[in-house]
Structure 1
């Protein structure tokens, strides 16, 4: 199975590599990246034609590589999926598709993010799956700034602080961005389940693969 991952941040690459490796599946991963996308989104405040054109180009390249799946790994661009899917024959998956499918069964959800553009599309998607869900969102943009300048410890500490703020008030905690997945085993969540997007994405993709194999 060949999966083409589309990244807007360098920090998203290793988490999805690790998640597939942990699943012990023979999956061929290809990576496409444009690190200017987030700054462009901050500037234009919408999924502009310029941004969408870049995603269409990613899809074209994925088709050339004969990909089985295209995975968007940056949650800020998940809503581009519905706009670009009609333009490609390759299935395009949101970065949050797997994790939000799991989260939808919980009543109170703690959403942890380090980019301001991340929560709105995730909240809209989760609400479409579970209209009565109670979402408690925490965002700390300084955590991403720490990661960008190489201060991984500072980043991780800020993630832990956000988790502490919602722990005990929610039924599940979602580390919504791929870049924070490595903190899942260290955050002070008590008995509250902590879900990460890369692991859930891999489970979702492999589940699709099994379904296709079973019915083919």
Structure 2
């Protein structure tokens, strides 16, 4: 049986990705490794640290030892650590947000990026710029951080979290060509937005779809 190990930096990404695996890869064995100190440490430092990168390497080396066919990194805040770890483990590693970043740079030249955590916003913006550069596209990025939404989520007030984010997204949609939701935890909001003026991209569906395609090519 195909085994995918997903590395999470908090519990909020587990269920959205389980749902996508059930829909898109129902016959795959999914193993979740969750360490919520990773995101906490990145937030406390304000950036990715060597210590977080070292721990991420340990988890991904363990994933390789578990016989993983692929490793999926579920958090954009530590996405740049994956670039380091890729050279240190044999098992292929995919980032949940890589396909989304490519799609955003294809869809428009003015890209809005929404996050509730600043440490996720910055690496997501850098990834989008990198993908646009690879595709030789000129883009402008408009950033929005809804920190109050993240605080509401930590306090268990999902209703307030959703309302703050919804307002942020709808306001931003008036000034850009496409919107990127920088965190997996924001994806569940998309159905409740209704018809938006511009496309709103989230990473769970496209990230797992890219994984499914990679697996089909490998077999």
* Bin for the TM-score computed over the shorter chain: over 0.9
Name stretches of at least 5 consecutive residues in structure 1 with no aligned partner.
none
1:111 is displaced (CA, Å) by 1.0
Name stretches of at least 5 consecutive residues in structure 2 with no aligned partner.
none
TM-score (norm 1): 0.93
Inter-CA distance 169–46: structure 2 relative to 1 (3 Å threshold) = closer
1:20 is displaced (CA, Å) by 1.6
Q: Write the deviation string for residues 51-72 of structure 1: whole angstroms up to 9, x where unpaired.
A: 1221111012101210111111
1:160 is displaced (CA, Å) by 0.4
TM-score (norm 2): 0.91
CA distance in 1, matches of 2:113, 2:196: 16
CA distance in 2, matches of 1:60, 1:165: 42
Match 1:146 to one of 152, 155, 162: 152
**1:134 matched to 2:140:** yes
Q: Write the deviation string for residues 108-166 of structure 1: whole angstroms up to 9, x where unpaired.
A: 21211100101111111111111411211111111111111111111110110111121
Is the 2:48–2:77 Cα contact (8 Å) retained in structure 1? no
1:39 is displaced (CA, Å) by 2.1
Q: Secondary structure of the equivalent of 1:86?
A: coil
Report what 1:109 is aligned to.
Answer: 111
Q: Secondary structure of the equivalent of 1:117?
A: helix
Inter-CA distance 103–164: structure 2 relative to 1 (3 Å threshold) = same
Alignment of 1:26-37 (within 5 A): 26-37=27-38
Q: Write the deviation string for residues 59-91 of structure 1: whole angstroms up to 9, x where unpaired.
A: 121012101111111111000011111110111
**1:202 matched to 2:208:** yes
Q: Secondary structure of the equivalent of 1:31?
A: strand
Q: How many residues align?
A: 213
Q: What is the aligned-residue RMSD (CA, Å)?
A: 1.5
CA distance in 2, matches of 1:14, 1:37: 18
CA distance in 1, matches of 2:18, 2:186: 14
Report what 2:178 is aligned to.
Answer: 172
1:189 is displaced (CA, Å) by 5.3
Is the 2:5–2:33 Cα contact (8 Å) retained in structure 1? yes
Report what 2:123 is aligned to.
Answer: 121
Report what 1:18 is aligned to.
Answer: 19
Is the 2:69–2:91 Cα contact (8 Å) retained in structure 1? yes
CA distance in 2, matches of 1:121, 1:110: 14
Inter-CA distance 53–166: structure 2 relative to 1 (3 Å threshold) = same
